[in-house]
Amino acid sequence: MNAIIFGSGPSRTLIDKVPAHIFTVSCNLSYPNANLIFARDEPILEKVLKEKTPGFEDQLVFTTFREYEKYSDTSRVILLDEDKLFSYNQGLSTGTLAIATMLNFGFKKIYLCGFTFEKPGGSLQKLLQVIGKSSFSKLYCIGGELLLLEPPVPNFITKEVFYNGYR
């Protein structure tokens, strides 16, 4: 099975309709009605769990330990214990946590929409430290800009390539 993870970057608007057989993941409030949400910031968790933001009312929410303690009274919150899952976990973004976790779930291809890897180092370097080089072959960044980055990098594809693969 394949998955698509939506981040908050500008390319997230490239994909408006996801084929039914792809598992959808939203980082924070990036994609309504996703199968699963990853959130680690209190304002986002408030909107998802307390305010019942439209499109985010029923999904399970993965969050980290500190936030889990505060919101565990709802049946929708699942603890993502990054200390036990990942050897490098300092300062990981919601997107990096989502990508690493979905890889651990065994998805064959993971499409990334709304992710940018513009700067050498940064989120790309943290992702490499968490998932390792071999997992990059399973990542497909839709519409991101391919800059002169040192390998390993995700596979960069257009929205047309994404949609043509599912017709």
Phi, psi of 35 (to 5 degrees): -70, -30
Res 166: pLDDT: 60
Name residue, tokens 């050498």. 120
The CA distance from 10 to 64, in Å, is 26
pTM: 0.90
pLDDT digits (tens, 9 = 90+) for 68-82: 999 988 889 999 887
Judge whether 112 and 131 are in contact, CB under 8 Å.
no
Could you say which residues of the chain have pLDDT below 50?
none
- Going from N- to C-terminal start, the domains of the chain cover 3-164
